[in-house]
A and B are shown apart, each in its own frame.
Chain A
């Protein structure tokens, strides 16, 4: 009996091995052409992103592949399932370092979790380039340069563009009016910067018109400004979903949309913008649109682009993911060659119904 089981197991194990090999071969033919084998093989760059299957990361990857082809280097692009999978990313960076590449490009989910492999790559003199949100609070000398968006400025850009559309409503309101902010989280530096950049700029613009202390920032503790809701002309309320699911995001957006005094709403990344669109679709007649609640988004994605095209969204700010990927790999190659490298601002742009399908925007946004 023992032997019988052994035999069967060995057959099954061989089968599993075969499947594994097939998967490996399939991988080579489908993905090899798009990057891994595009170069001479003299230099390899490991790219560890914050995500993988998301449109945004595909665009980053596309940019990196373009640069890899230009430089003739091999690249390997990995990223965890979602942006809360810290442990998964630690393991990915461990792997990347263990492979001894010429350079690493890293978008850290959480720097303190990654300290081990980061220090290991410093010991081995593997240069690290930060990209997207980079590697905030990294140890001195660990990061050679960053390819990233100035997120605070990008958040400000959203506020500056929303302000003219709501200016009159704020000034002419009897009681107070409200602007809702949906933020995916308050842990990630980049998303928090965009959220805070928007809130600060909006408060500055309104207080410039109506005087100090007329704006109350409420919602999440981290963002409150101490002005009581009752004393304010404008309330900026931030809501953060309890977990990273579309339905949790939608719940928070819906709570904001159901407030009668709401005049504007801002979602500080694609997740949040999508939450607003989904929540609004669930309300009969819809709350957002021209002459209704002014909605402003961030990043792109098919849903958000449609919303901008149809003017349900007043507009949105986009980073340039292709440029982020391109510059990350470009900097990584330069650093590996021992050249001096310095930070690159990959830029942010406002887009609305008028220019969403223009060439300058379609290059930046992704479906």
Chain B
């Protein structure tokens, strides 16, 4: 018993230290850019960083749940765009905006449910199942939009209120509080409820969880549904930030989100992870993305450097597990 406690404590410390390192890295990167470029220090730049973080942030928070179960959700990027584009089509057909926003989240949730059933009920490997739904979502968006882009109403236009969820008319980036609110909610679900407890438990030891009488299929499905719902919310964030949704897009965003999750210290083998780390991981990527052009580096350098950061993060993850 004493040993067990000691183990738990060590585990807590290591997870804590990874979070700590991630925060330090975020601050260090920010200060580096702030020193290198005067114009980076403006509030407008900070708003740009927030803007670039919203949709990836929601995707990453959602997929954290799936990754903690030991699974993966590759469909979130295209599900996000598919939900947004179908929402846009519905809106153009006359659906009121508030209902459109609910529909966007519902479409995301439906894809999540599909993923959950395929993985938990039909025992498809998560990688393959979500690869399939990734393609389905991409195709469905193109089919429903007739391969045309969909433009949401502009700020100030009729029904343009949804834009103020993420940025007020006076440019105040209220979206950061929305993101934090959802992050806190997700963290409560993950750490303080039965849902979270079982999700961690499935990720640590699936068989033991099943044998202790937990309906593993159900809770695993719920993890995918949460991921899908967050992909829907990300779709709203994307529409509010970028207004125009192109058909057939979204592939690749899931990898950005998963990279953010991993940089934030969630283990791809399941059982370990935190929402806080995920949010920090996403911001590390956004600061790199927005900051590098200020030191006159083209976007491909961002990929290069994010790759290095990712590898360092995974290296730490591997070391941590070997130590345990």
Contacts and interface: CB of A to CB of B under 8 A. Distances in A.
A41 to B, nearest CB: 13
A91 B52 contact: yes
11 contacts: A2-B13, A2-B17, A5-B17, A8-B319, A78-B293, A84-B246, A87-B241, A94-B48, A110-B151, A115-B155, A242-B142
Contacts of B319: 5, 8
Interface in B165-195: 167
B14 interface: yes
A113 B242 CA distance: 5
Given A16-B305, A84-B246, A90-B242, A100 B148 contact: no
Interface in B269-324: 289-290, 293-299, 301, 304-305, 308-309, 312, 315-316, 319-320, 323
A248 B14 CA distance: 48
A43 interface: no
Given A16-B309, A19-B308, 13 more contacts: A5-B21, A17-B32, A24-B297, A84-B248, A87-B241, A90-B51, A95-B293, A98-B39, A98-B48, A110-B151, A112-B154, A112-B243, A186-B147
A205 interface: no
B28 interface: yes
B301 A23 contact: yes
Nearest to B303: A81
Main secondary structure of the interface of B (DSSP, over half): helix
Contact of A97 (B44, B241, B295): B44
B42 interface: yes
Interface residues of B, number: 55
A113 B301 CA distance: 24
B312 A16 contact: yes
B294 A76 contact: no
Interface string B143-157: 000111101101100
Interface in B18-60: 21, 25, 28, 32, 39-40, 42, 44-45, 48, 51-52
B238 interface: yes
Contacts of B151: 110, 112
Closest 4 CB pairs of A and B: A243-B248, A110-B244, A94-B48, A187-B149
Contacts of A120: 44
A226 interface: no
B249 interface: yes
A99 B39 contact: yes
B294 A221 contact: no
Contacts of B45: 95, 98
Nearest to A36: B296
Contacts of B246: 84, 86, 187
A26 to B, nearest CB: 10
B28 A86 contact: no
Contacts of A5: 14, 17, 21, 316, 319-320
Interface in A1-53: 1-2, 5-6, 8-9, 12-13, 16-17, 19-20, 23-24, 27-28, 36, 52
B280 to A, nearest CB: 14
B155 A86 contact: no
A244 interface: yes
B244 A86 contact: yes
Contacts of A76: 296
Interface in A91-145: 91-92, 94-95, 97-100, 110, 112-113, 115-116, 120
A87 B80 CA distance: 14
Size category of the A interface is 35 or more
Nearest to A97: B44
Nearest to A76: B296
Contacts of B146: 221
Contacts of B32: 17
Nearest to A221: B146
Interface in B127-155: 142, 146-149, 151-152, 154-155
A222 to B, nearest CB: 8
A100 B39 contact: yes
A187 B290 contact: no
Contacts of A153: none
Nearest to A115: B154
A78 B298 CA distance: 7
Contact of B312 (A6, A9, A81): A9
A169 B68 CA distance: 66
A36 to B, nearest CB: 7
Given A2-B17, A76-B296, A110-B243, A243 B142 contact: yes
Contacts of A23: 297, 301, 304-305
A164 B32 CA distance: 63
Contacts of A209: none
A17 B29 CA distance: 9
Contacts of A91: 48, 51-52, 289-290
A88 interface: yes
Contacts of B299: 78, 80-81, 88
A1 B14 contact: yes
A115 B51 CA distance: 14
Given A91-B289, A98-B42, A113 B244 contact: yes
